[in-house]
Each structure stands twice: as structure tokens, then as C-alpha cells.
Amino acid sequence: MEIIPAIDLLEGRCVRLYQGDYARSQVFNDNPIEVAHQWVEQGATRLHVVDLDGAKQGYPVNTKTIAEIVQAIPIPVQVGGGLRDRSGVTQLLDTGVERVILGTAAVEDQPFVEQLCQEFPGKIVVGIDARQGKVATRGWLETSEVVATELAQQMTNLGVAAIIYTDIHRDGTLVGPNVDTLRELASKVSIPVIASGGVSSITDLLSLLALEPLDVTGVIIGRALYTGDISLKEAIQAVGSGRLQDVPPDLGFSTFA
């Protein structure tokens, strides 16, 4: 399982939201490039970047900062936020972004998603962000009637490379991931699923490992890394090989042994 640090950009700064609420944002660093270097130095193999301004506006906003991050680090970067037309997608891919993440478009324009999957194979990921099982759109400001698990199945049929599932009520809260919903969603699709939202400890990460053999291939961690609740190095050590016995004994976790 891949541990993927998150950088959420709001007005060019590295922030975290609480349950997707823009009014409850917390600035962790004014220099996202510095943060990106920090995660690479600690062993990250991929970076997850969200353009929060873009998600709200409906088009990429922090493209200059994203391009600087991509140029500054040697690992792949995946980016989401406001990608609702082809020009926004190609603009980011042209900067060297490895994969782009579609959200609102997956609900509102599935033929567009399918077209992109055919044009850019392996580079289109869909983010499914849900409140009580229903998919949220437009920077989490609206909630649709679309059921998250049903959308996941539809996206699989369109050819997306992976699905990122976020439980909005858990995002930024440090209360743990929604393992039951992840299990249900992953059992219904044949493509990789990346978990996001609420991860607060190594124990939470191991609860995701316990979903094997379902194809939950990665987990995005945000607030817990910034607050120090999780050490990126320890997290990678715990799950990097996919073997629970690799967990350092002083972490006091034995339930899955």
C-alpha cells in the first residue's frame, strides 16, 4: 500500500480543511514547495495535490505553484481541483503532472470522462467524495443524489485508472477512515482504490491493510502528517511491504498479528 502525502492549496498556501469547510481552513505552511521537499526527503513515492481554489471556481487556479512543485521534486504528482474541461486537464498534464483527478465531471459529464480516458490512458483518476454515501461536487459545496458505490462502478466501465474515495465527514477530523464503506466500494470495482479521509494513526493504516485482498492500493494522508500524529517514515515502514509483521514493536499494535 502506497502512503501518499497531501498538499491542499488555497491562495498559494498549504492548508487543511475540516470536513471540506473552506471557512474552517488551517494554514500549515506558506511555502508548498518546501512542504513537497519535506515529504520527498521522508520517503514519499507520490504526492497528492488539490487545488482548492480551482475546485471552488471550476477551473485550475494554482497552476503556477503546481508546476513549481512538479519541477522541484523527483516523484510523480497527481492533481485534482476544478478540472471540468479538456483545457484544464491538458494544461496540468503539460506541466508534467502524472495523473489528473476528476470529480464533478464524473457526475455531470461521463462522456467527457470516457473521452479523456481514451485520449490519456492511465492518467485519469476519479475522486469520489461522499457525504453519507452521496457524491459531493463543486468543491464539496453541493451534494448530488448519486450513490458513491454506483458511481464507482460506472467509472470502472469508462476506463479510469483508479478511484480516490473520500468520506467528507471524516476528512481533516483524525477520527479514522470509513473502512466499511471502503470495503463495500472496493468489492464492487476492478480497478485500484485509494483511501482518503480521517486517517490519524498507524493503527488506522493497518485497518486498511486488513482489506486485502481487495484492491485498496494506497492511502492519502493530510492533517495527521502536518500535526505529527503520524510520522511519514514510520507509516511507510509499517505498510510499505504490505506485511503487518514489519510494524515496529513499540507501536503497540497487535490486533492483526
Residues annotated as part of the active site: 8, 129
- Alpha helix (H) ranges present in 95-201? 104-108, 110-119, 148-158, 179-187
Give whole-number Cα distances, 158 to 1, 28, 153, 253, 256, in Å.
24, 37, 9, 40, 36
User: How many degrees, rounded to 5, is the angle at CA 82 between CA 76 and CA 84?
Assistant: 100
